[in-house]
Amino acid sequence: MPGTGAPLVEVAHLQHSFRSSGRGRPAVRAVDDVSFSLGAGETLGLVGESGCGKSTLARSVLRLLEPSAGTIRFAGRDITALGARALRPLRREMQMVFQDPTGALNPRRRVGSIVSAPMRWQGAGRFAAEQWTRELLVRVELAPEHAGRFPHELSGGQRQRVGIARALALEPRLVVLDEPVSALDVSVQAQIVNLLEDLQRDLGLAYLFVAHDLDVVRHVSDRVAVMYAGKIVELAPAAALYERPVHPYTAALLAAAPVPDPRRARARPRPVGGEHPDPSAPPPGCRFHPRCPAATAICRTEEPPLTEYPGGRLAACHHPLAVGPQELAAAARSAASPRSASHRLPQPAHVTA
């Protein structure tokens, strides 16, 4: 059953910094002290504005980018500092689907060669790789004949299906999906999302689903993490987060999303204006305070800890929304305990199959 038992992925206090191009400029901390866990068969959605660090976090989890600090555990094993040789067997179990299906596929290779490349890299024989490639193409709802085509001969949706087939070639347990449908037409997006859900159900995959489309994230996710300026500011079961956001930034994102029902649109708070902070010089205290309508003096000086609230919800805010006095008291008791929520990983929510 997804989301139960020991987490498949555990990320603790992860950081990743980029050097600035200008002399004397501070490094850009794209991911700053991020912790979360992901259970087998679970989908964790990761949302936030462009530049908030979503893709950097996703690539760091797979060790495609080297973390500056923190730890990453996969299936109970610390993989943070493993070298290339030690990582190679684990690459079978962790794969990625990229945002741009055109740029992610080698235009000089036929589809069959693209999909079978991971198998050959891991030492599979030619006959076995070709046979498995044909089966994978059928699984992602393409025809075996597509193996002989080049990427430019396919539609955008077909190219993304090829990318998914390549990610599944080594039968992974974790797939990181970095904006997998944002470059596709709306009708094709629905097809790809349904395909991903079918594959997860059939293969027991865990997904880290990075996206900016809140409707897509709500549809596919068991839990949702909201990032702002390199930090997770809220993490909660999807239904709870969309119905009663705790952090003002989450509420602002939901307010900015189009809603087909005008009555619901009027009931939501107005979107918060302003610009995303400079990642090389984030504001002190709460990073959202320059744009937050509820900000007070404490928000400008003290960074709020990621605090646990009832229902498996976590949020980093001095003035949480939709939280009653009893919930605030429970959160205060949790924060005061030796096993404070800010020092332990949030466990995956219980999810039914």
**CATH number where 87 lies:** 3.40.50.300
| Dihedral (CA of 341, 232, 16, 42) sign | positive
Tell me which residue has tokens 């046979």.
131
Q: What is the mean pLDDT of the chain?
A: 86
242 touches 259 (CB < 8 A):
no
Look at residue 255 in the predicted model and tell me its pLDDT.
Answer: 85
Mean per-residue pLDDT, 159-166: 96
Q: 168 CB contacts (<8 Å, ≥6 apart)? A: 95, 136, 139, 140, 175, 199, 203
Any domain includes 70: yes
Q: Is 218 in a helix, a strand, or coil?
A: helix
Any domain includes 193: yes
Number of independent structural domains in the chain: 1
Q: Band the pLDDT of 343: cuts 50, 70, 90.
A: very low
Q: Indicate the DSSP class of residue 274.
A: S
More confident residue, 187 or 287: 287
Any domain includes 206: yes
Any domain includes 120: no
More confident residue, 142 or 183: 142
Any domain includes 108: no
Measured CA distances, 213 to 216, 275, 318, 328 (Å): 6, 19, 27, 30
**What pLDDT digit, counting tens, does each position of 118-156 carry?**
888 777 788 888 899 999 999 999 999 999 999 999 999
Look at residue 187 in the predicted model and tell me its pLDDT.
Answer: 86
Q: Which domain holds residue 177?
A: 1-93+172-353
Look at residue 272 in the predicted model and tell me its pLDDT.
Answer: 66
Any domain includes 312: yes
Look at residue 259 in the predicted model and tell me its pLDDT.
Answer: 63
Any domain includes 3: yes
Least confident interval from 67-71, 211-215, 300-304? 211-215
Any domain includes 132: no
Q: Which amino acid is at 330?
A: A
